[in-house]
Structure 1
Amino acid sequence: MPLDNYGVWKAHPISYEVERRGTRTPHLTLYFRDNGGPDYRAAINIKSGDQQESRLVYWVNEDMSGHPLVGGLSKLKTGFERLDDKEPERGGLRLDYIRGNLFDVNTGRVLEHDITGPNNDIIDVLVPKVQQAINEGAVVYIFGERFDTNNGIHNVHMNQGNIRRYSGDDGVFQDGALLFHFPETHKWVGIFLAFASQAVHTSENGGHAISRVTWKDLLPGDLVENSVAIHKAVVGPFGQGEDKKQSVILANLTNRKISLVRWRIRNSRWEQEVLPRNAALGAKATEVIGVPNCPLSTDGDTITLLDRDGLKVAGVSYNSQQGNAANGEIDFAG
């Protein structure tokens, strides 16, 4: 069954410890405080228990301020907010690495736990971010599963597409992460962790693997995720003439023609536009795709491109400020 007591903990990070040797599944332990009470701890995996593939995948989004998620997080009170009793929805707080367009998957790094040399393992990249958050008085939002003892949180990583041994924890919209808000600079930074053995594509209901492609296969790689990008979207309201109808501009990043037959464009409410039988993109070409069946909200939304098998190809997100731009157009290519 999926995680129990999944949620987000808003707090202030105060210190950390790192396990480098002597345990099969080492952690970075982040100590934090919420309302002036006792210190709590977050157990963050820095190595997998899978003996065949123990590496982790690390993504960092240095500018989360444009994601619709931020608005909801800003309104939270300090403390733990349970989320597994809430339905996934646009602007909701439940995280999903595959469906939430939280980061560019192609920027991920597959990293060992602790090896010789600078900036080449998970400790090297994670510790500086945590230390910066402590030094600059950041607010941390820790997504994961609260301990049964209520004195901490774990599973601060992707929680779907697991190998069979851990597939009982699979679920959609229950992924873990660390988000830091730096009040002085108004900056939001997201850190996202997965196990290299986890599947890139999962089922819509149970979050189980539906493809043999794992993060270790994808990063680096030249699979379908690299083939087509969402470059622009026209998000203005309907009824303003043919040139102002909502649309999405797709770009072929490859040197070959790509068939888009039965591909789909989906918003955060899972409304979708199914591309017609003759849809195709020439080599290095772009195409404007109307989306009358997939309305894009001016209040902020996500746009996800799926292939004919329902596998994610590309994804973007925007906030209400971008959605209400004067010309109604949002450029994701810049």
Structure 2
Amino acid sequence: MPFENYGVLSGTLHRHFRDRPDDQGRWFHVNLEVDAPAGRYKVAVDVDSKKSAVGVEWKVLTLHPSVLEPVDAPAPGYHDLDRSSGSGAIDYLRHPALADHPGCLFLPRPPAWIQRIRERISPARPWTAGSHLEASAALEPILVPGRPVLVFGEPFDTGLGMHNVHQNQGDPYGSQWWEENGTWQDGATMTRRGDGLYDVFLSRFSSQSGATDDDGHPLPPPGAA
């Protein structure tokens, strides 16, 4: 089932560090420490694994805070979010500021002539594919100590922390994450720059689909029966 608890952590970035190669477990993380009124939170951002054949994809965006309303500047601390449009929740495929074509709500892949018009009006923001080390290197420049930070994802069951800070939909049928698929529950890391804009890191695994139904499950490829 989709996440029972989903939300955003607002705080100040204290520091970040990578997992050590000898104790990372299966998945490799860039770890953040975020200060908030309740204490120092640990945030685990998945950036793939040396031990897995599943690759990672990412993109780095710069966004005006107004496009993130109503969570553009929440009070420090953790806040639950409804898994719905307009609540402040994140959905890579449906949020107008995050979709592959900015300003366009998600739809199944359009006809080629519409796609060409979309490319002219709002150029695509493609995903970059690479290793966990390349993904880490793409994330780390926005992790400036002292910056205000927003982390979207699932809170730890116990203790102060956040995980599942990546796409949380589109996992294939038969995978262990199929039942956790859901819309409006994606994770993201955002840090606020001195000019007020947000630097944003989004990530997903190569096994996850970029087109999903209302339950967050993968849509069949175009032309499939």
3-state SS in 2 of match to 1:73: coil
Q: C-alpha distance in 2, partners of 1:168/1:49?
A: 25
RMSD: 2.3
2:79 to 81, 90, 104: 81
Q: Does structure 1 residue 175 correspond to structure 2 residue 174?
A: no
Structure 1 residues 210, 102: closer, same or farther in 2, change over 3 A?
same
What's the offset of the Cα at 1:211?
2.7
3-state SS in 1 of match to 2:53: coil
Q: C-alpha distance in 2, partners of 1:25/1:138?
A: 26
What's the offset of the Cα at 1:150?
3.8
What's the offset of the Cα at 1:188?
1.5
Structure 1 residues 48, 102: closer, same or farther in 2, change over 3 A?
farther
Q: C-alpha distance in 2, partners of 1:48/1:160?
A: 19
2:90 aligned partner, one-letter code = L
Given that 1:200 and 1:211 are in contact with CA atoms closer than 8 Å, whether structure 2 keeps it comes out as no
2:155 aligned partner, one-letter code = R
Partner of 1:192: 202
What's the offset of the Cα at 1:160?
0.1
Given that 2:152 and 2:187 are in contact with CA atoms closer than 8 Å, whether structure 1 keeps it comes out as yes
Partner of 1:40: 41
Identity of aligned residues (%): 26
What's the offset of the Cα at 1:75?
4.5
Partner of 1:118: none
Q: C-alpha distance in 1, partners of 2:51/2:98?
A: 25
Partner of 2:150: 141
3-state SS in 2 of match to 1:193: strand
TM-score of the superposed pair, with normalisation by structure 1: 0.54
2:60 aligned partner, one-letter code = V
**Structure 2 unaligned spans of 5+:** 101-124
Given that 2:83 and 2:183 are in contact with CA atoms closer than 8 Å, whether structure 1 keeps it comes out as no
Partner of 2:140: 127
Q: C-alpha distance in 1, partners of 2:12/2:65?
A: 23
User: Residue deviations 1:69-115, cap 9 Å, x none?
Assistant: 2x3123421100001xx25233x30110001133363431011113x
Given that 1:59 and 1:103 are in contact with CA atoms closer than 8 Å, whether structure 2 keeps it comes out as no
- Larger Rg belongs to: 1
Given that 1:199 and 1:211 are in contact with CA atoms closer than 8 Å, whether structure 2 keeps it comes out as no
Q: Does structure 1 residue 58 correspond to structure 2 residue 58?
A: yes
Q: C-alpha distance in 1, partners of 2:44/2:182?
A: 20
Partner of 2:106: none
Given that 2:85 and 2:184 are in contact with CA atoms closer than 8 Å, whether structure 1 keeps it comes out as no
3-state SS in 1 of match to 2:71: helix
Number of equivalent positions: 196
3-state SS in 1 of match to 2:177: helix
Tell which has more relative contact order, 1 or 2 (C-alpha 8 A, sep 6+): 2
**Structure 1 unaligned spans of 5+:** 115-120, 214-307, 310-334
Q: Does structure 1 residue 28 correspond to structure 2 residue 30?
A: yes
Residues 277-292 of structure 1 aligned to structure 2 (within 5 Å):
none
Structure 1 residues 26, 170: closer, same or farther in 2, change over 3 A?
same
Structure 1 residues 162, 32: closer, same or farther in 2, change over 3 A?
same
3-state SS in 2 of match to 1:165: coil
Q: Does structure 1 residue 110 correspond to structure 2 residue 129?
A: yes
Given that 1:19 and 1:26 are in contact with CA atoms closer than 8 Å, whether structure 2 keeps it comes out as yes
Q: C-alpha distance in 2, partners of 1:49/1:5?
A: 29
